[in-house]
C-alpha cells in the first residue's frame, strides 16, 4: 500500500437507498435451510459478467483481509513474533473473513532468503522451524484451506526495499517477474485454496493504461504476465490493478481503472480477469473530494468514475484489494461507512456485489492500523464493525495437499523425556517429539508407563489420559503438524518426585 495525492474534480452523486431485509420466521428458516444448495466456493473459480462463480457455477463473494509481511525484510507474514499462525487464521475465520490476500516480493524466491522474527517458544509455530519463505507460505495456504478460507497471492514489490512504480526495476527485470509468477502458479496447481494472483501492487506514474509503450503500458504487461500465469495454471483468476493516471485524470496508486472501458485486459483463457482498485481515506492522504461540500454524498460518483462502472456495466468483477483508515477523523469514519454501503451489503445483494480485502489484519500499518490492536490479539471492534454488513460466508474446507512436502513417505517419530526440576514432593518434565520420517506429521501420540506411583497433575501443549501407571499424551491442536526433521515439545507436572525416567513410545499420524 502506498498513496499519492491527485488533482481531479469530485463527481457528485446521490447515494442509493438500500432496502432492509426482513427476518425469517422459524418455519421459513427451516424451509430455506432444507432447500439450501451446497455451500458456494468449491474448487477453482471463474468469472461471468460482473460475478465470480465457483466450479458449480454458484456465485461467491470475496470478503477478506490483507496479512502482510512476506514483502518486507522479515520475508514472512508479520505477527508470528507474537502468536502461532494457526491461531491467527482461526481468528480471521471467527470474525467472518473468508479470504486472505498475502503480499510478497520476489526476494522470497531467492535461495539466500531466510525468514526471521518468528517465535517458536511454548510450541508456537513449531512446524515452521527450519523452513524457507515459500515453505512457510505452503503451510499458511494449507491451513487456510482447512479452515475454509481462500488465498489471493499479491506480487507486491520486486524486492523488500520499496514499492515500485512499474512492474520491473533494473535489479528485477520483467523476465524475473514473469518467471516467478509462473513458478508460484505452478507451485499451487491443484490446490484450489489459492484462487488467483494479483499481478503487481499499485502501478503508478509513469505507468500508463493503453498508451501502447511496452515499457510503461501496464495493461499490456498485465496481459503478458496473465497469460504466463495461465500457461502454468489455467484455473487461476488474474487480478489486475489500475494505474495512477489515465488521459490526464489522476487517482490513487493502482486505483484508476478508467482505461478499462476503452482498453480491456484480454487473456488467452476466457473468464479469468478481475479488476482491482485501491481506495483510502485521509489518514493515508488528502484528496479534493474529502473537502467537497457534498461529502460524503459525492463519493459514489467518484467510485463510479474510477472503477465502479466496470461492475455496474457488467464488464467484469471488481475487487477492492485494499482500503483502510485509522478512523481517527470524522471524515474517515464517514468515508468508510459510505464505502461499505457502496460495496453492497450482503444481506441485500448476496454475491452480486463488489469483492474486497481490507487493509489490514496487521496493526503495524503506519497510516491505517489494523483489525488487530498493537498486542496482535485484541480486535478493534469499531473498525471491524464497519465491515459487518459486507462480510460473506466462508467456503468449503479443502484445497489439496502441501506442495512443499513429498506426497508419499513414512511417518515416524521419537520422543525424549527430560526431568527439568524435582523437589521430592513433585517434579516437572519436558517431552520433545521429533519427526524421524520422510513425510510431515499430521499428529502424534506419546505413551509411557511410570515405574512408581507418579500421577500427572497438569500438562501443557498436549492433552493426556492416565490409567494406573500408564500415560497417553496427544498433541494439541496447534502443534500436531511437524515438518520432516522438525520437533514439537510439551511439558508436564506431577507428584511425587524421585521417579526414574520412563521409556517412551511415539506413534505418528
Report, as residue numbers or ranges, the catalytic residues.
202, 322
Please give the C-alpha separations between residue 177 and each of 161, 231, 238, 336, 436, in angstroms, as whole numbers.
16, 15, 15, 34, 37
C-alpha cell, 76:
514472512
**Cα angle for residues 59, 61, 66 (degrees, 5° grid):** 150
Could you tell me which residues come within 8 angstroms of residue 130 by beta carbon, excluding any fewer than 6 positions away? 483, 485, 486
Residue 103 CA to residue 74 CA, distance in Å, equals 12
Angstrom CA distances, 243 to 165, 300, 446, 467, stand at 9, 20, 56, 67
Residue in 132, 140, 153 with CA at minimum distance from that of residue 90: 140
Contacts of 5 (CB under 8 A, 6+ apart): 285, 286, 287
Q: What angle do CA 75, 81, 84 make, to 5 degrees?
A: 100
Q: Which of 421, 389, 484 is CA-nearest to residue 20?
A: 389
Q: Which residue has the cell 514499492?
A: 163
Task: Please give the DSSP secondary-structure letter assigned to residue 288.
Answer: G
Element (H, E) at 197: strand 194-198
Assess contact for 239 and 252: CB atoms under 8 A.
Answer: no
- DSSP 3-state of 260: helix
User: Which among 86, 84, 124 is positioned nearest to 490, based on CA atoms?
Assistant: 124
**Grid coordinates belonging to 454:** 507418579
Amino acid at each position: 500500500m502506498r498513496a499519492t495525492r491527485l488533482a481531479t474534480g469530485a463527481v457528485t452523486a446521490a447515494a442509493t437507498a438500500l432496502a432492509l431485509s426482513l427476518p425469517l420466521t422459524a418455519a421459513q428458516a427451516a424451509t430455506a435451510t432444507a432447500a439450501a444448495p451446497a455451500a458456494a466456493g468449491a474448487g477453482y473459480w471463474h468469472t461471468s459478467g460482473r460475478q465470480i462463480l465457483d466450479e458449480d457455477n454458484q456465485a461467491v463473494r470475496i470478503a477478506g483481509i490483507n496479512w502482510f509481511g512476506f514483502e518486507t525484510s522479515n520475508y514472512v507474514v508479520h505477527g508470528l513474533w507474537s502468536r502461532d499462525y494457526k491461531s491467527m487464521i482461526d481468528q480471521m475465520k471467527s470474525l467472518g473473513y473468508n479470504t486472505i490476500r498475502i503480499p510478497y516480493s520476489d526476494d522470497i524466491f531467492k535461495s539466500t532468503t531466510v525468514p526471521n522474527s518468528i517465535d517458536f517458544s511454548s510450541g508456537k509455530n513449531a512446524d515452521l522451524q527450519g523452513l524457507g519463505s515459500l515453505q512457510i507460505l505452503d503451510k499458511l495456504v494449507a491451513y487456510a484451506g482447512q479452515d475454509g478460507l481462500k488465498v489471493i497471492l499479491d506480487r507486491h514489490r520486486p524486492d523488500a526495499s520499496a514499492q515500485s512504480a512499474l512492474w520491473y526495476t533494473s535489479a528485477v527485470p520483467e523476465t524475473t517477474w514473469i518467471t516467478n509468477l509462473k513458478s508460484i502458479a505452478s507451485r499451487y496447481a491443484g490446490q484450489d485454496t489459492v484462487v488467483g494472483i494479483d499481478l503487481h501492487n499499485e502501478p503508478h506514474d509513469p505507468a500508463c493504461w493503453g498508451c501502447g509503450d511496452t515499457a510503461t503500458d501496464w495493461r499490456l504487461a498485465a496481459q503478458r504476465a496473465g497469460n504466463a500465469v495461465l500457461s502454468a495454471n489455467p484455473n487461476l483468476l488474474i487480478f489486475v490493478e489500475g494505474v495512477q493516471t489515465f488521459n490526464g485524470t489522476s487517482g490513487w496508486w493502482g486505483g484508476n481503472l478508467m482505461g478499462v472501458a476503452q482498453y480491456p485486459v484480454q487473456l488467452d483463457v476466457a473468464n479469468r480477469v478481475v479488476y482491482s482498485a485501491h481506495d483510502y481515506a485521509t489518514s493515508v492522504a488528502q484528496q479534493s473530494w474529502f473537502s467537497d461540500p457534498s461529502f460524503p454524498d459525492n463519493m459514489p460518483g467518484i467510485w463510479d468514475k474510477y472503477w465502479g462502472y466496470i461492475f455496474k456495466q457488467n464488464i467484469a468483477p471488481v475487487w477492492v484489494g485494499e482500503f483502510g483508515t485509522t478512523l481517527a477523523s470524522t471524515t474517515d469514519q464517514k468515508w468508510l461507512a459510505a464505502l461499505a454501503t457502496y460495496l453492497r451489503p450482503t444481506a441485500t445483494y448476496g454475491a452480486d456485489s463488489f469483492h474486497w480485502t481490507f487493509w489490514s489484519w496487521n496493526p503495524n500499518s503506519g497510516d491505517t492500523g489494523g483489525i488487530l490492536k498493537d498486542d496482535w490479539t485484541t480486535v478493534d471492534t469499531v473498525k471491524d464493525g464497519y465491515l459487518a454488513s459486507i462480510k460473506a460466508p466462508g467456503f468449503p474446507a479443502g484445497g489439496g495437499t502441501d506442495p512443499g512436502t513429498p506426497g508419499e513417505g513414512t511417518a515416524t517419530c521419537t520422543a525424549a523425556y527430560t526431568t527439568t526440576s524435582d523437589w521430592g514432593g513433585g517434579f516437572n518434565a519436558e517431552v520433545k517429539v521429533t519427526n524421524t520420517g520422510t513425510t510431515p506429521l499430521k499428529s502424534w501420540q506419546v505413551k509411557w508407563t511410570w515405574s512408581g506411583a507418579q500421577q500427572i497433575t497438569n500438562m501443557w501443549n498436549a492433552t493426556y489420559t492416565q490409567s494406573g501407571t500408564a500415560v497417553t499424551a496427544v498433541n494439541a491442536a496447534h502443534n500436531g503438524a511437524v515438518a520432516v526433521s522438525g520437533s514439537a515439545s510439551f511439558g508436564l507436572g506431577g507428584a511425587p518426585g524421585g521417579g526414574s525416567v520412563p521409556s517412551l513410545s511415539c506413534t505418528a499420524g
